[in-house]
Chains A and B, each alone.
Chain A
């Protein structure tokens, strides 16, 4: 049972602790202290208890309830804990200015740090409950309740860092007034998250990696592992006599057998994989080749302290060997899938590797020809009457799911095709329909409800295998089309576009609101320059303004790093997203978020390039899915770093088009008076790692969260024009200007702007991390660039002229 407890002085008493904090602020920052009209402090405690609910309630009352002087808030656990409503609103009513504008700052001890107060509370609760094992986890913290109409987010962050939770052992967050008035923060899931029971481990990725190196091997059921492997991981073999098309349509599939598991030595499996790679590099050109799955038997997984058999080491060796072959033979690896862990949440202790090797020298093909959703059913007879068929379909579905070959299933029974497509969220960004060979069915499906059937979203790399499986099982199917992110619906017949229109127009949906419209730009712009769009596109967007632009950490702190804007010599603008890999949980939602953040800033993605990566994680699959599911082309797939004992991270470059730079909506200089610094760029520089959120904790303090990389400056002397252009780019939206001191050549790097309040914390962190920084100027309110050059000459240029 997860419980959050808050205690604070009753409204009738003055809160001396809060008053002390206010006095401290007044000494250092009197202007800010004036904006604070009322302040209160509450003690917080998060507990995980293993006992009956009524006993827990009794214990909390006895430990935390100080009836004469304090109020106790526990959400719905003790509804009459305080005043009339039992919520913080009782306390808010004591504020002198009502209704008032309230803010909350919450701090809590980090889970991994020693928390003596929590230990005492544990002791006290266990004393009352009479059970020394009743408290599983506890952390303590405080909640600062502040009222002030003129307080900004920047002010609250300053208070948090400097006076409330400056300690590195504590984390803090801001809470809005709405959240304060509700009891959502008392919910078990939220409490569990703080107690570290959910994967909120963005800041401890290095610790995670260390965990991987010391897996717990107790209680492993190796028989079950083998069964799981046999059931779920197909092992493919290339058939040399077949031509590419034949193989794709009818691959020879077999499953890892007992013989392979028990009798094949690890070295043999390695050699087999490497040999196949080398042979293929010599002469064959198959488009797709999945080579091998490896699962050592239990006696080879782990034999005590012998490091040579440690699964992590073997996996590293295997991966490195394949990469060596790949580099020496110039064979790109398009997919390397590593199954590391997670059977009943046990840490990694086995893996298998499935390789796909593309020998195509021409690179990824233009367009989206791959069908990734298929219709399953019987187009002629009422199949639902055939129970045998139903069982077959269920069996095939389970089989496909176990093999992770399908990403979604849309039931079609009783609906027209249009209704199915309209309700399908995976297709909400656009899709293509192919009519070849199923014109009659298509016409019927549009007009009449369909019989028992399903539409499966099939992963591109497992499509061939799945189609073959369906053929072998005698289940009728045909390929229906593919989804993409273009925002359009296209109907194709004999490879010709018969119809192309916006998806909302296709479904005749109502126009959406202005705010949503801003964020609902199409993500993807086809690379063909001559392609013209019929009308402006509007897409559904699952993320809100706040999530995308204001509080990105609400999605995941790992992908909340700033977006880096980069001027492109051809398209003039570009977008780059730096990110790490969110620990183990980097998935398609995170990827979609990154893509959507780019469009929210005003760009439409042309293509995606992976410039830098590091780590051992199995995120290659995600990258591949971007191409297969979203239809965005990977223009480059390059591994520049070997897996190391370091954090997992990734740098994505999303080249985008922006029709008018005035449409940029955020990531620009936001406020006059902000200080502008230059940080040296380059992926190996600590500044880049800091910006990507891998190290440090004040990235979000960048007042306007902007970083500009002036690396493309082909014109002007020593790139000076490039610098000016990028600064103009950041200033034009809010009609601001800047005073700059550009007195030397700037190599590739980043310009960041920092508010006056935050500069000390940020500068200190830079100094600690060894990040070089140079102050180059400040943002001004008049829309002019005032530049002082190396000979102390001053130039004044209106921003509008530069635009």
Chain B
């Protein structure tokens, strides 16, 4: 069991850091929760980050009230106040996960490229539901060996969009390089929907569903219907186990 350190970077309005902490500790990480203001105060810059931590998590939520775009202000703070380059962090073997608003932060930081974004779709209502997602490709280290799974969603009804002015090139890049690593189940959704992206190294992973809220079957709605499965691990935990496995390797 590894004891690599993981950083959970919170910001005003973010949520789920305790679940992340619980999940990461379960799979063997030494998880530390740190707010962005505290990180700035401690001058946790790029080199120190690579030195201290193996994994960085950007939780979801309503960071900074989603003013000027969800995750936008956090991205500006990471870029200008901390001076992080997460692509370089990943190249040195680090792992990064952004969930929900954290995923948007990664998009604003352009770790996947400049042509991708999330937007509220036409029925922009808050929703809490389960989505069935299918890992595709082999690039993403977080999803290796995983099959179709259900994950909880606590988001406004957002959708992944590609810049129309460079659509063909950007879409081709996703498909060709296997960056669109988490997709919707075509049997339950009308369109080919992308739920998660990874970068070229496969170590930076952003997704809309929340794996940290599905660590055991007791997180599901039907565990009491099928109580024999109550002690079984959830699909979300498998994602974090992959991260621990990669860190050990």
* Chains A and B belong together in one complex: yes
Chain A residues with a Cβ under 8 A of chain B:
7, 9, 12-14, 16-17, 19-20, 43, 62-64, 66-70, 116-117, 120-121, 123-124, 127-128, 130, 140
Chain B proximity of A358: nearest CB distance (Å): 62
Chain B residues with Cβ below 8 Å from A64 are 68
Q: A68-B161, A69-B117 are in contact. Are A117 and B67 (CB under 8 A)?
A: yes
Residues of chain A within 8 A of B124, CB atoms compared: 16-17, 20
> Is B80 in the interface zone, CB < 8 Å from A?
yes
CA A124 to CA B123, docked complex, whole Å: 29
CB contact between B116 and one of A20, A68, A123, A127 (< 8 Å): that residue: A68
Q: Which residues of B contact A16 (CB under 8 A)?
A: 120-124
Contacts known (A12-B164, A13-B119, A68-B115); A128 close to B76, Cβ less than 8 A: yes
Q: Which residues in B have their C-beta under 8 angstroms from that of A17? A: 120, 124
* B28 contacts A by Cβ under 8 Å: no
Assess the B65–A116 pair: CB atoms within 8 A: yes
Closest to B117 in A: A68
A64 vs chain B, min Cβ distance (A): 6
Give the contacting residue for A62; candidates B76, B81, B116, B121; CB below 8 A. Answer: B76
**B68, B69, B80, B164: the one within 8 Å of A130 (CB):** B80
Residue of A nearest to B170 (CB): A68
Residue of B nearest to A130 (CB): B80
Per the bound structure, the CA–CA distance linking A66 and B163 in Å amounts to 11
Chain A residues lying within 8 Å of B72, measured Cβ to Cβ, are 63, 66, 124
A43→B68 CA distance, assembly (Å): 8
A14 touches B122 (CB 8 A): yes
A9, A14, A16, A116 pick with most chain B CB within 10 angstroms: A16
Nearest chain-B residue to A63 (Cβ)? B68
User: Contact flags (1/0) for B79-110 with A, using CB distance below 8 Å?
Assistant: 01100000000000000000000000000000
Q: Which residues of A contact B49 (CB under 8 A)?
A: none
Residue B114 CB within 8 A of the other chain: yes
Q: Compute how far the CA of A64 lies from the CA of B108 in the bound complex, rounded to whole angstroms.
A: 11
Known: A13-B119, A13-B161. 8 other contacts (CB 8 A): A9-B119, A16-B121, A43-B68, A68-B161, A68-B163, A69-B119, A70-B69, A117-B67
A123 in contact with B161 given A9-B119, A68-B117, A116-B65 (CB within 8 Å): no
Interface assignment of B247: CB less than 8 Å from any CB of chain A: no
Q: Is B200's beta carbon under 8 Å from chain A?
A: no
**Residue B43 interfacial (CB < 8 Å):** no
Known: A7-B68, A20-B124. A63 touches B119 (CB 8 A): no
Cβ of A70: which chain B residues have Cβ within 8 Å of it? 69
Residue numbers in B under 8 Å from A13 (CB-CB) = 119, 161
User: Is B223 in contact with chain A by the CB < 8 A criterion?
Assistant: no
Q: CB distance B117 to A66 under 8 Å?
A: yes
B120-175, CB < 8 A from A: 120-124, 161-164
Return chain B residues, CB-CB under 8 Å to A117.
Answer: 65, 67
Chain B positions near chain A (C-beta within 8 angstroms): 64-65, 67-69, 72-73, 76-77, 80-81, 114-117, 119-124, 161-164
Instruction: List the 3 shortest-distance A-B pairs measured between CB atoms, nearest first.
Output: A16-B124, A68-B117, A120-B67
A-B contact pairs, 12 of them (CB 8 A): A9-B119, A12-B164, A16-B120, A68-B161, A69-B119, A116-B65, A117-B65, A124-B67, A124-B68, A124-B73, A127-B73, A128-B76
Choose from B116, B117, B122 the contact partner of A19 (Cβ within 8 Å). Answer: B122
Complex interface: chain A residues within 8 A of B164 (CB): 12
Main secondary structure of the interface of B (DSSP, over half): mixed
Distance A66 CA – B116 CA, assembled complex (angstroms): 10
CB of B174 to closest CB in A, whole Å: 14
Question: Smallest Cβ distance from A745 to chain B, in angstroms?
Answer: 57
CB distance from A495 to the nearest CB of B (A): 73
| A67–B163 touching, CB < 8 Å | yes
What is the CA–CA distance of A20 and B68 in the complex, to the nearest angstrom?
19
Q: What are the residues of chain B within 8 A of A128 when measuring CB–CB?
A: 76, 80
Whole-angstrom distance from the CB of A351 to the nearest CB of chain B? 46
* Chain B residue contacts of A20, Cβ below 8 A: 124
Assuming the A-B contacts A63-B76, A67-B114, A128-B80, are A121 and B120 also in contact, with contact meaning beta carbons closer than 8 angstroms in the complex? no
- Residues in B whose Cβ lies below 8 Å from that of A19: 122
Partner of B76, one of A14, A116, A127: A127
Distance A123 CA – B120 CA, assembled complex (angstroms):
25
Q: Knowing A9-B119, A20-B124, A68-B115 are in contact, say whether A127-B65 is a contact too (CB < 8 A).
A: no
| A70 nearest CB neighbor, chain B only | B69
Closest to A16 in B: B124
- With A16-B124, A69-B119 in contact, do A121 and B80 touch (Cβ < 8 Å)? no
Residue of A at shortest CB range from B118? A69
Q: Which of A13, A43, A68 has the most CB of B within 10 A?
A: A68
Contacts of B161 on A, CB cut-off 8 Å? 13, 68-69
User: Are A127 and B80 neighbours in the complex by a CB distance under 8 Å?
Assistant: yes
What residue in chain B is nearest A68 (Cβ atoms)? B117
| Chain B residues within an 8 Å CB radius of A62 | 76
Distance, CA A127 to CA B68, complexed state (A): 14
With A16-B120, A63-B76, A68-B115 as contacts: A121 and B67 at CB distance below 8 Å: yes
Across the interface, name the chain A residue whose C-beta is closest to B67. Answer: A120
A64 CA to B76 CA in the complex, in Å? 11
- Complex CA–CA separation, A9 to B124 (angstroms): 14
The distance from the CB of A468 to the nearest CB of chain B, in whole angstroms, is 65
In angstroms, Cα B64 to Cα A16, docked, is 21
Alpha-carbon distance A13/B164, docked complex (angstroms): 11
How far apart are the CA atoms of A317 and B65 in the complex, in Å? Answer: 53
Q: How far is the CA of A119 from the CA of B68 in the complex (A)?
A: 12
Taking a contact as CB atoms under 8 Å apart, the answer to whether B76 and A124 are in contact is yes
For residue B77, which residues in chain A have a CB less than 8 angstroms away from its CB? 127
Instruction: Pick the contact of B73: A14, A68, A120 (CB < 8 A).
Output: A120
Closest B residue, CB atoms, query A118: B67
Q: How far is the CA of A120 from the CA of B116 in the complex (A)?
A: 24
Residues of chain A contacted by B64 (CB below 8 angstroms): 120, 123-124
Contacts of B120 in A (CB 8 A): 16-17
- Inter-chain CA distance A107–B20, complex, in Å, is 40
How many angstroms between the C-alpha atoms of A749 and B82 in the bound complex?
Answer: 67
Bound Cα distance from A70 to B118, whole angstroms: 11
| CA A14 to CA B123, docked complex, whole Å | 10
B67, A66: Cβ atoms under 8 Å? no
Find out whether the CB atom of A127 lies under 8 angstroms from the CB atom of B81.
yes
Q: Hey, which chain A residues are within 8 Å of B123, CB to CB?
A: 16
A14 to B119, CA, bound (A): 10
Taking the closest CB of chain A, its distance from the CB of B110, in whole angstroms, is: 10
Closest to A116 in B: B65
CB distance from A434 to the nearest CB of B (A): 67
Note all chain A residues with C-beta closer than 8 A to B76. Answer: 62-63, 124, 127-128
Distance, CA A18 to CA B65, complexed state (A): 19
In the complex, A127 Cα to B78 Cα: how many Å? 10
Cα separation A43 to B67 with both chains bound (whole Å): 10
Q: Could you tell me the distance between the alpha carbons of A120 and B122 in the complex, rounded to whole angstroms?
A: 27
CB distance from A63 to the nearest CB of B (A): 6
User: Which of B76, B114, B117, B123 has most chain A Cβ within 10 Å?
Assistant: B76
Residues of A within 8 A of B114 (CB): 67
